[in-house]
Amino acid sequence: MYEGLPLRTSEIIVLAYLAYLVVVAWALRIPARRRAIVTGVALLDAAAIVWLSRQSGAWTVVRDWQPVLQILVGYELSGLFFEKPMMGAEAWLSRVDRWLFERLGLGAAIARAPRIVLELLEAAYVSVYVVLPLGFAVALAIGPHVDVDRYWSVVTLAALCSYAVLPWVQTRPPRALNDQMAGIDRGLAVRRLNEFILSRASVQVNTFPSGHAAGAFATALAVAAISPAAGWAFAALALGIVIGSVVGRYHYAADSIAGLLVAFGAWLILI
């Protein structure tokens, strides 16, 4: 049924991001095939967003949940811009981590940590794949009349702003460089699960700021607007994701700090 509903702020954010990717794809010298994929997917996705905004009934539920898919699409498209690692940027990110792990003794502390602690940190990191939809589900359960657009605007802006930097800052994750400063190679069971997922679902490059950190902390802030108690629970989960990503060498520490700042920035802009 046609209703002609206006676009939501979260949808405008996605459309702006898609337009940005198309412009950058044609401005930069990326391979023609990748440029065509970015352009084609962006146009189809934009058309789908506009079409969905003009539906009603059961389609409203689809519309409420579709930002989860939009963030995933945004992540995958950003990976198509990776050409070659920026060695200087990787060296700087590694120096920051080395200071944290060596000067502050974090590496030694993690190396002595009980196996269960490291398994829990790996489990926290793997939860990043469900934290966004879980946060929205909790928000709906707590407040049936939650402002869906406000919720997703914060989360979407934080995540997509992080991915938008990838065409300009291209680095590999520390695990790809065998940068195991934390001494975590103990055959961890959950780590094997993480590596399995990353080998099939990741774009295999590093995002600075960390989209994981930005999305997780933005989710905590969005949930906190509905229930402070639930917000604190998601903040603790987000902190676990960040620590797990750095300890497991999935991200550099600077990635996560930047992701946290992006999440707070998105929240401040949209509150």
Residue 63: what pLDDT?
Answer: 94
pLDDT the model gives residue 93: 92
For residue 2, what pLDDT is reported?
A: 40
Give a yes or no: residue 196 inside a domain.
yes
Task: Give the domain extent around 190.
Answer: 85-270
Cross-strand partners of 206? 171
Give domain status of residue 140, yes or no. Answer: yes
Tell me the per-residue pLDDT of 199-217, one tens digit each, with 9 for 90 and over.
777 778 899 999 999 999 9
Contacts 24+ apart (CB under 8 A), 69-76: 70/14, 70/45, 70/156, 71/132, 71/155, 71/156, 71/159, 71/160, 71/215, 73/41, 73/45, 74/14, 74/17, 74/18, 74/21, 74/159, 74/160, 74/163, 75/159, 75/163, 75/203, 75/207, 75/211, 76/203
pTM, two decimal places: 0.89
Tell me, yes or no, whether 37 lies in a domain: no
Residue 94 lies in a domain: yes
Quick one: pLDDT at residue 1?
A: 35
Judge whether 249 lies within some domain.
yes
How many structural domains comprise the chain? 1
Q: What CATH code is carried by the domain that includes residue 266? A: 1.20.144
What pLDDT shows up at residue 235? 95
Q: Which stretches in the chain have pLDDT values below 70?
A: 1-5, 179-187
